Amino acid sequence: MNTGKNNLLYFFIKKAKLIIKKLPPVQYAREQKLLSGSSILMLHRCEEYDTTKLLPNEILKVSPQYLEQFIQKAAKTHSFLSLDDLSKSLPEKPFIVFTFDDGYKDNLKKALPVFEKYGVPFTVYVTTCFPDYTANLWWFVLDDIISSNSVIKTSDGVVWDCTTKQRKIDVYMALREIILKFPADDFENKFTEYFSGYKINLKEKAKELALSWDEVKQLADSPLCTIGAHTTNHVNLAEMDDDDAYHEILQSKQILEEKTGKPVKHFAFPFGTANEVTEREYGLAQKAGFKTAVVSFGGNITELSEKTAFCLPRKMLVDVYHEF
């Protein structure tokens, strides 16, 4: 996690609030925008919205019910492509490609059955530290702490007022800024120390929410699912030197191919905004042997060439039925 993802998160929250203010007209308008032209859609989780949790994390969910409704509506005007199909040629008819980032368990448990029902292909970009259970999914742990307390106290002596839902969100975002500055090489200890008054197990949260390697293999064995790579540690590649950034990209490909027994041809840049992805990163993904790479912003896909194949734009699919 870094400032790039922080900026992206603020962008998503701002858009979500605008969407929800005037439902259903804005809902309809937004879906019309998503369904204008051809696009790759970016998702993270497929899970029912939890009203006891906070918007910054819940905004990354799309419920199975909404996913099914969206597919039904999109099928009237669009075809559904896999990334392998897209990498071969750009169809004239409008199309949609579904992609999920990171590697959450609900991608298998909740999303796969919906895609199977309609025969729709999709991609899951797996960060290998997720199924390794070495990922520190601290943003969910922080949500748990804030959601279950009206007041929290951190080890620096600060007392945080969490008495209302809005205050909880404000505190979450303020603490997030602090946490993002913890040193990566000692992150787990720093996080645990900072919230020493609370029961914390970062690795248990990974086991609860992340795909296991057996589950990654189950997805890979589905004829509808393509497994893509998303680095080994979900790092900001732009902050790394050439060798380390290339290693993050290439190693994730190699690990996933070894674990699934299948070639891994597609890549998603972590965070994926213009702050984290430049021409250098596009070149590194191409050098690692991928056929395509996606970013986390942009609009419709209007061209496909050797150059644009490594900076494919995406739109975020948000479940606009959420009551925030």
Question: What pLDDT, in 10s, does the model give residues 18-30?
Answer: 444 433 344 555 7
Residue 289 and residue 104: Cα distance in Å, rounded?
25
**Per-residue pLDDT at 97 exceeds 70:** yes
Q: Is the pLDDT of residue 31 over 70?
A: yes
What is the Cα–Cα distance from 167 to 12, expressed in whole angstroms? 19
3-state secondary structure of 8: helix
Cα angle: 44, vertex 125, 306; to 5 degrees: 120
Average pLDDT over residues 86-102: 93
Cα–Cα distances in Å, from 138 out to 71, 260, 267?
32, 27, 24
Residue 145 in tokens: 């702490």
Nearest one of 196, 190, 159, 192 to 174, comparing CA atoms: 159
Give the pLDDT confidence score for residue 216 in this predicted structure: 98
pLDDT tier at 8 (50, 70, 90 boundaries)? low
For residues 82 and 42, what is the distance between their CA atoms, to the nearest angstrom? 13
pTM, two decimals, is 0.87
- pLDDT, residue 299, reads 87
Q: What number is the average pLDDT over the span 246-266?
A: 98
Q: Specify the pLDDT at position 22.
A: 38
Average confidence (pLDDT) over 57-64: 92
Cβ of 223: how many Cβ atoms within 10 Å?
9
Q: Which two tokens stand for residue 12?
A: 């998503």
Domains in the chain and their CATH numbers? 3-134+210-316 (3.20.20.370), 138-204 (no CATH)
pLDDT at position 56 is 87
Q: Quick one: pLDDT at residue 23?
A: 36
Rg over CA atoms, the chain: 19
pLDDT of residue 19: 41
Residue 33 has pLDDT above 70, yes or no: yes
User: pLDDT digits over 152-210, tens only?
Assistant: 999 999 999 999 999 999 999 999 989 988 887 788 999 999 999 999 988 899 999 99
Kindly indicate the confidence band of residue 12, based on its pLDDT and cuts at 50, 70 and 90.
low
Does the pLDDT at position 106 exceed 90? yes
